[in-house]
Amino acid sequence: MIKESKRQLNRFSQMDDNIAAKDRVVAWPRMGRIDIPLKALLVTLGAKIVIPPANSNEVLELGVKNSIEGICLPYKLNLANYIMALENGANTLMMFQAPGSCRLGNYTKMAQKTLQKMGYEFDMVIFDMYQSKMKQTVQAFWHVTRCLNPIRYIRGFGLGFTKFFAIDAAEKHLLYYRPREIKRGSAEACYKKWLNKIDETNSLFKFCFLFGRMKKDFAKIQIDKTRKVPIVYLLGEFFVLLDPYTNQNIEKELGEMGVEVQRQIMFSDWLAHVLTPSFLNKKESHRERCVRYAEKYMKRAIGGECIETIGDTVYAAKHGIDGVIHMMPFSCMPEIVSQNILSKVSKEENIPVLSLVFDEQTGKAGYMTRIEAFIDLIKRKKFVNDKKNIIEREEMIKC
């Protein structure tokens, strides 16, 4: 019974051990700028690493060529990342898994079998961050590094997590300043500058001052304070949200159209939910808020970001957000459920919602036409509401 329960507990976990720790060269899939904090963490623990190239058309072509038909876009990119890493000397691949109806729980096992059929020899380290949270995560990193120094773990995880939070802070500044900047490109330049500084900074002490300096630097950007800027929530499947190549740089496109994007899934929020013990969370987490707001339309989570998508849309409607853009990879099961519920949410909560589906066939022209039409809609809606509010205030003053 004990053995059976242990097997059930670790049914998602797998850590091969065919390579000596000193010979391991570690790699992981690319997603946004996840390479910066993971590099800091693994190097601090003494690991040798290979970082695959950023996602691109070349990467996608390789992934599509070696994937089964109908599998979603994130898997194709992940598989290509693995192939490129192995070709560049990696022999240990890391990936986390998750329960529920999201196929993320099967990505790595599918990729592992495909890579083995292609003739690659490697170890696969799979861990379920949702099940035993920090314990599984530390075990996975110990498995690939065999580091026994607790000080290194404290420093490595501290540095990696701090870089996640710093990247999120830089992105939030960028999303605020980009639609308001007077000189096009100044916010982007400032963001890239601080992204490099975050990558280069490997001292927790220096990070104590970095956040304040970054905020002051962004504040120097000249902005038009009179510009009417609609606010749009960006939500949906987390890989599509976090990887600019996959979502075709939608944040930049919207910012240059004069729209402030507020992405509802950030690395730091996700880490706080997955890895922080519940007794340390003093305030309501993003996920808890979503569950509360989604209750009218969805009673329980079904996997992926489905309940977050519904909850964030209801929250947006009740807090004056101008519109919601929902993004998902083609054939993503949890987000297909979300998409069907969102039509009802949009109608009952009176908030415009646009759903975008991405795969390797997604064309930029048609995609941009839909976005431009949606932004015109919410701008007109915002103008009408603002005019209505002015009239109501004037009538109250007269009374």
6 phi and psi angles, rounded to 5 deg: -65, -40
Instruction: Give CA 74 to chain center in angstroms.
Output: 12
pLDDT at residue 160 greater than cutoff 50? yes
Q: What percent of the chain has pLDDT over 90?
A: 56
113: in domain: yes
Based on the fold, state whether residues 195 and 57 are members of the same structural domain.
Answer: no
What is the C-alpha to C-alpha distance for residues 339 and 326, in angstroms, rounded to an integer? 8
Residue 11 clears pLDDT 50, i.e. is over it: no
Let me know whether 249 and 376 are in one domain.
yes
- Hey, what are 52's tokens? 């695959």
Same-domain check for residues 109 and 44: yes
Ordered alpha helix ranges (H), 66-185: 73-87, 104-117, 134-145, 150-177
Contacts with 233 (C-beta within 8 Å, 6 or more apart), sequence order? 262, 263, 264, 312, 313, 316, 321, 323, 324, 325
| Contact of 230 with 322, CB cutoff 8 Å | yes
Whether residue 41 lies inside any domain: the answer is: yes
> Do 364 and 235 have their domain in common?
yes
Instruction: Indicate whether 152 belongs to any domain.
Output: no
Q: DSSP letter string over 42-72?
A: HHHTT-EE--PPPP-HHHHHHHHHTS-TT--
The answer as to whether 151 is a domain residue is no
Q: What is the mean pLDDT of residues 328-349?
A: 89
Query: Based on the domain organization, do 16 and 49 belong to the same domain?
Result: yes
The mean per-residue pLDDT over the stretch 336-345 comes to: 91
pLDDT of 372 reads: 93
Least confident of 20-24, 90-94, 167-171, 216-220: 20-24
Q: Which residue has the tokens 């996700």?
A: 270
Looking at the fold, whether 203 and 255 belong to one and the same domain comes out as: no
Please give the average per-residue pLDDT across 98-123, as a whole number.
80
pLDDT score recorded for residue 6: 42
- Identify the domain containing residue 192 by its residue range: 158-177+180-228
CATH number of the domain that residue 389 is part of: 3.40.50.11900
∠ CA 270-274-275, rounded to 5°: 115
Beta-bridged to residue 147, according to DSSP, are: none
Residue 384 near residue 98, CB atoms below 8 Å? no
Could you tell me the pTM of the whole model?
0.87
How much is the pLDDT for 398?
53
pLDDT at 12: 41
Residues 271 and 368 in one domain: yes
Residues 204 and 270 in one domain: no
**Does any domain span residue 170?**
yes
Predicted confidence at residue 305, as pLDDT, reads 84
Query: If we measure between CA atoms, which residue out of 198, 47, 178, 201 comes closest to residue 123?
Result: 47
Note whether 236 and 325 are same-domain residues.
Answer: yes
User: Do 39 and 23 reside in the same domain of the chain?
Assistant: yes
Asked whether residue 371 is assigned to any structural domain, the reply reads yes
Looking up residue 86, the CATH number of its domain turns out to be 3.40.50
Q: Indicate if 241 and 389 belong to the same structural domain.
A: yes
Q: How many domains does the chain have?
A: 3
Do 52 and 141 belong together in one domain?
Answer: yes
